[in-house]
Structures are given as structure tokens and as C-alpha cells.
Amino acid sequence: MTSMKTSIPVSESVSSVDMEIGSSWTDSNTSISSTNSYEAMVKVIQTKPRFHSIKDAIHNKILNLRAEGRVDERSFYICDIGEIRRQLNLWKSELPFIKPYYAVKCNPNEEFIKNMISIEPEMGFDCASLAEIETILRINGFINRDNLIYANPIKPISQLRYANNNDVNLTTIDSIEEVEKIANFTDGKMKVLIRIQTDDSSATCPLSVKFGANLQYSEKIVEKCIQLGVQIRGVAFHVGSGFKDSNTLVKAVDDSYKLIEIIEKNQGNKCDIIDVGGGFSKESFKESAKILRQEMEFKFGKSISNGEIKVISELGRFLSASCFTLVSNVIGTREEIGGGKTRVYLNDGLYGNLNCILYDHQEVEPIVITSNGEYVYQESKSNDKKLYSIWGPTCDGLDCISKRVELNYDIKCGDFIGFENCGAYTNAAATKFNGFTNEFDYEFIES
């Protein structure tokens, strides 16, 4: 394979109104609108939301909870479908040649996924377990299986068999042992992407400590695949969830190019897929997209432009984080003697939706929704700041959301506190520890 820089088209301007999401990702031969499965697909389209602003939706939900007398039972989410559209538009404006595969693990809420499919019927999905594959097949059993990847380098045999039997025939590997497992249990149908190791030391959640093969070991994986008749379709990499150094993408693309040359030389067949992983965040996306686009143009531009190579990405937080606002109820307060600080206890915490503080290293910013029962969300703030610490509902002393935060409002029992950008790695890992619920209410709007 010869490296040749070929310009890959990038949209100059994008409008959520006049642009059809997915036009660059959809194969005209497999478009769902041209198949009998279209009628099944439209069933997932949601009833038009009643509200068009997060503010109105939160207010209405609180009024309903008060009327029903269950304000403290569970926290609730407001999901903005319009934000899904905006994020997909942003992605396509910068990286139109890379097809998004939504990482189900990030937020498996089925109504959210249904709304995503209604916006982009040819959306791909990154599933890492049997349950995640089942979720997507339950939502849309007619999905084009080319839009599914079993993206977990280590798989239980039973789950590998399930994927294979349901025609999910593309997976990632990073070991010789996994090649042997695939050869033994998938009847030659399962194809693979070799996941390479990356330098993700700057990422919020590094993944290479667990997954990925260096180039030297990857060559041995190639040899084993050829020996056992497991077809290699390409290469996958992931520079870490919430990565901060976009330059790590440069080496990852370069290593991918080197490995593809080795695969094609030894296997004979051309590679046709590159998986560039995920970890992209809304705030730094344009910078990282520019670097990734330039490197892909330099190394694979001609192959991408002529359709020889399909490029996919495992998008989780990029698509879901900013779509969700979490609202929790204040179940108690306590004035600290001599400390000038008030402890606020919520009906949600680190064992619930805010586990992202522990597992995803997120820094959440509490927002006062009601003060002394009055709705103050997005209203002009008082100049008088008060000092608080905020805690979850469990008996664990580690269940602390914020040890010290200044807020512009007085907070009493029965009030509500909100957290924006809470759609990634939150509800997915909520537990029932201490007897508290991990089931939450969801309201959908479109702004």
C-alpha cells in the first residue's frame, strides 16, 4: 500500500436544518430507506416532545412530582434530542468520512438510542457485551449487521457464540489467544480488527493499560490469524477516553498504516476498515478532528476517497454527554457548627448517577434549580454566595459529590439541584447500594 495524501472533503458550513445527517456514511446499496426494513425502523421514532427548552421541562417535571407527592423518590433526567442533532452535525462538519458507531456502554438508555436512530437510521453501534448487542437488536432487529461491531478484545465464549449466531461478525482482538478462541467457536464467520496499543497517558481514562498490542506483538497476531484462517479486515485503536493530547492520534494513525502494510503483505487480502476509537469531547473536538483528518488524509486519503477503506469511530461521550441534565432532590440539610458551611444531602450520589466522579474522573458543577421552593433555574443570580458541601444519600462517608462549593442561593430540604452534561458514564454504572434505586425518570425535549 502506497501512502498518498489525498484531500478528503470537509463541509464548509453545516446547518442542522438544511443538512441531511448521514449522507456521507450511507452506502446507497444498503440504505434502509430502500429496503423492506424501513417500516420497522420508523417505529422507533418518538412522539414529538412537548417542550423545547430544558428550563420548561424541568419546571413541569417538578410541578408534577410535587402534585404526585414523590419529589424525593428518585432523580430525573432531561434529554435534549436537539443536542444529538447538533453533535452529529458537528461531527460531520469536521470528519464527514468517518462513520460514527455509538458506544452503547456510555449510556444504554433505550429511548435515547431510539431517538438517535430516528435522526440517523444508518447509525452504527459499538457493542461490548451480549446485553448491549441484545439492546440494539431489540430496538431494531432489522439493523444492517455491517452497522454493528463487537468491540471488546476479550470475549466470553458464550457471548462470542451469541454474536456470531446473530450475524454480528466483526470484532476486535489484541492477543493470539483470542484468535484461537475465534477460530474454535465461530465457524470461520467472525472477522477481526487488530487493536493496537497507543500512548494514552494524558487521557482521563487510559485504556492501553488493559488493551492493545504493540506492533511487534501485532505481527505475531497476524501470523496466527493466517495460520488459523481468521480474516483480518483492518486495525483499531483508542487513544483513551477524554484524551487531552491530540498528537497521540498522529502516532496511532502512523502505527495503523504500518500494521496494515504488514497485514496486506502477508494475508493477501486488502484491509477495508480502520476504527479510530473514541474519547472525543465536545470542548476540544475541532482541534483533535483537525489533526486526525490531516493524518488520515496523508496516510489513507486515496483509499478513503475511492471507497477501499471504511473509517469508523466509537463515539460515546461525544454524542451523549451534553444531551442530559440530571436533577436531584435535596433530602436534608445540616448547618455545620462554627464552619459557616451547610451540608446538603441529595437523593443521588456517587453510588447512583454521579458515579462518574469516581469512575470517569468527571468534575460536576451543581446548579441550583429551586431555592426555598422557588424555581430559580437560569434566572438572575443573587450576589450573596453561600458555602455548601454536597453529599449523596448512602451511609458511606465517601459518598461526597463536592466538599466545598459556593452557590448563589439558599438551599433547603425539598429543593432541587441540577448537573448539566451528565449523559456519559452516569446512569450506565448506577447501583442499588444501600437499598437506593438505580432506576430514574427520563423526559425528552427537542431544543
pLDDT at residue 37, as a whole number: 46
**Which position among 395, 400, 413, 422 bears the catalytic label?**
395
Q: How far apart, in whole angstroms, are the C-alpha atoms of residue 94 and residue 112?
A: 24
Known catalytic residue: 205? Answer: no
Q: Would you say the CATH fold of 144-315 matches that of 54-77+321-445?
A: no
- Spell out the domain ranges in the chain: 54-77+321-445, 144-315
Phi, psi of 327 (to 5 degrees): -125, 125
What's the pLDDT at 9? 54
Q: Measure Cα distances from 102 to 183, 309, 314 in Å.
A: 27, 20, 6
Identity of the residue numbered 17 = V
CATH assignment of 54-77+321-445?
Answer: 2.40.37.10
Local confidence pLDDT in tens for the 447 residues of the chain? 655 555 555 544 443 333 333 344 544 333 333 334 444 444 444 455 678 999 999 999 999 999 999 999 999 999 999 999 999 999 999 999 999 999 999 999 999 999 999 999 999 999 999 999 999 999 998 999 999 999 999 999 999 999 999 999 999 999 999 999 999 999 999 999 999 998 766 656 666 777 899 999 999 999 999 999 999 999 999 987 656 677 789 999 999 999 999 999 999 899 999 999 988 888 889 999 999 999 999 999 999 999 999 999 999 999 999 999 999 999 999 998 887 899 999 999 999 999 999 988 889 999 999 999 999 999 877 778 999 999 999 999 999 999 999 999 999 999 999 999 999 999 999 999 999 999 999 999 999
Question: CATH second-level architecture of 144-315?
Answer: Alpha-Beta Barrel (3.20)
Identify whether the C-beta of residue 147 lies closer than 8 Å to the C-beta of residue 125.
yes
Provide the whole-model pTM: 0.89
